[in-house]
Amino acid sequence: MNKVLSEKIVKLKKERNVLILAHNYQAVEIQRLADFCGDSLQLSIQASSSGADIILFCGVRFMAETAAILNPEARVLLPVWDAGCPMADMVTAEQLRELKKLHPGAVVVCYVNSSVEVKAESDICCTSSNAVKIVSSLPADQKIIFVPDQNLGSWVGKQTGREVILYNGYCPVHHFGFTAGQLEDLRKSHPGYTLLAHPECQGEIVDVADKVMSTSGMLKYAEDHDELIIATEEGLVQFLNYLYPEKKILALNSRAICQNMKKTHLSDLYDALIEDKYHIQVEPVIAERAVKCLKRMLELS
């Protein structure tokens, strides 16, 4: 069944000049069909430089919105209408405007996991893989507001030695998914394993992690390391085990699942291409402002 469906998708893809992009948390069956899998930064770069007529984005809404504003020539389709990101929904443009009023003169760095309206209110964007670089690029005496992820913002503050005004957003999967207690148990049963943590995890995890990195950072690190404990969404751990079945790669919590990332199935890709849905469109005035914040990030990346 999956084989037949995959073949149909590949045929439609060729006929319609489609680029399939998939985030590293997507199910393996989707990743196998994608032209490119990656973290948020890599996907933004791929989307902006693609000559495809259609970009079929297997991920969540803010990623498809980012692709749509970085590549206005392409028609960007999100296969599942309500595949969203709870963290991105935690801050609205109005809330950010209020925060800016409290800190006049502050530069706003927004995590890419945010709505296009929030990006339009921000000065520069960042992803988990370049947040330290982006914040370090700002003048030393510059006040910085970081939205919406308190955990990434706080980790970046520590890494750069900069004072960062935080917002109280978080990723429910990373914020609640991993605890120091789970880590202690796994470290006891698997001594010598290296802990790779995503910076969306709380301080009790990132402060003791051997490495803190984006999902693609983890994929790269695993190329030449064999015994790993991974603190991020389980889709990445499944993908790592698919790539390296001979290695010992453990999830810190295999129940840390992003339900939104798991909404996309092969049948949704097929339906999206047949029915030309769901077309992600951004109001031109908002897109014009949001693209500046994304392009500033890409210039520095």
Residues that bind ligand SF4 (CB under 6 A): 60, 85-87, 113, 171-173, 200, 233, 258, 260-261
86 interface partner picked from ligand SF4, ligand 13P, none, CB below 5 to 8 A per type: ligand SF4
Q: Which of 44, 214, 241, 253 binds ligand 13P (CB under 6 A)?
A: 214
Q: Record the tokens describing residue 26, joined without a space.
A: 């997507």
Nearest CB to ligand 13P, comparing residues 170 and 278: 170
Q: Is 156 helix (H, G, I), strand (E, B) or coil?
A: helix
Distance of CA 103 to the CA centre of its chain: 27
215 interface partner picked from ligand SF4, ligand 13P, none, CB below 5 to 8 A per type: ligand 13P
Closest to 28 (Cα-Cα) out of 54, 6, 50, 60: 6
Residues 118-137 that bind ligand 13P (CB under 6 A): 127-128
Number of residues interacting with ligand 13P: please give it, by CB under 6 A. Answer: 12
- For tokens 């429910």, the residue is 172
Angle between helices 61-70 and 284-300 in degrees, nearest 10: 90
187 interface partner picked from ligand SF4, ligand 13P, none, CB below 5 to 8 A per type: none
Output the CA–CA distances (angstroms, integers) from residue 165 to 109, 148, 174, in the order listed: 10, 11, 21
Output the CA–CA distances (angstroms, integers) from residue 6 to 58, 78, 79, in the order listed: 14, 18, 15
Q: Give every CB contact of residue 56 below 8 A, 6+ residues apart in sequence.
A: 13, 18, 19, 20, 21, 77, 79, 269, 272, 273
127 interface partner picked from ligand 13P, ligand SF4, none, CB below 5 to 8 A per type: ligand 13P
CB of 233 to ligand SF4, least distance (A): 5
Nearest CB to ligand 13P, comparing residues 39 and 117: 39
The H or E element spanning position 27 is none
Nearest CB to ligand 13P, comparing residues 50 and 216: 216
Residues 150-189 that bind ligand 13P (CB under 6 A): 171
260 interface partner picked from ligand 13P, ligand SF4, none, CB below 5 to 8 A per type: ligand SF4
Handedness of CA 224, 226, 227, 229 (dihedral sign): positive
| Interaction site with ligand 13P (CB under 6 A) | 24, 39-40, 85, 113, 127-128, 171, 198, 200, 214-215
